[in-house]
Structure 1
Amino acid sequence: MEQSAGLNRLVNLVDYYFTLGGMQIQFNVVSKETLLRAQEDPSKYQNLIVRVAGYSAYFVNLEKKVQQDIIERTEEKI
């Protein structure tokens, strides 16, 4: 039930965004825990790709500040 409610909130949020004139939306589907592990041991996560403000990049190749920004965004709740 909780998962279904979360999915409905996400669908409503995306629908509302486009109703207001939004043109694009990008999602990273990766857990905070995975991103933190990638920071700790980059050699094991060389193929982890994330979206960064309109482009994709290998997470472990990003500057630490950009990595941290992405990690903080994974904590957003609907």
Structure 2
Amino acid sequence: MQSENPFIADFTKMMNSAAGTLAGMGREARENARERFKEFMGDMDFVSREEFEAVKEMAANARAEADALKARLDAIEAKLNAAG
């Protein structure tokens, strides 16, 4: 149902324009916040997931090797103590 009152028609146009402007401002604020967050995170020393997984695997391998060497050393010490 359309209104014949020009005041209501103008008011409706103004409200629609204001809603569009507010929506645009909201999008722009989100974009700016996202960009600031990216800049903030870029300044920090983070590693990628791939780098983290590679270092984690290297640490696990080093730990397993250290455990194996300790077991060998314990066996050698046990033989020396039994012989001496």
TM-score, normalising length from structure 2?
A: 0.25
Higher Cα Rg: structure 1 or 2? 2
TM-score, normalising length from structure 1?
A: 0.27
The answer to which structure has the higher strand fraction is: 1
Structure with greater contact order relative to length (CA < 8 Å, sep ≥ 6): 1
The answer to which structure has the higher helix fraction is: 2
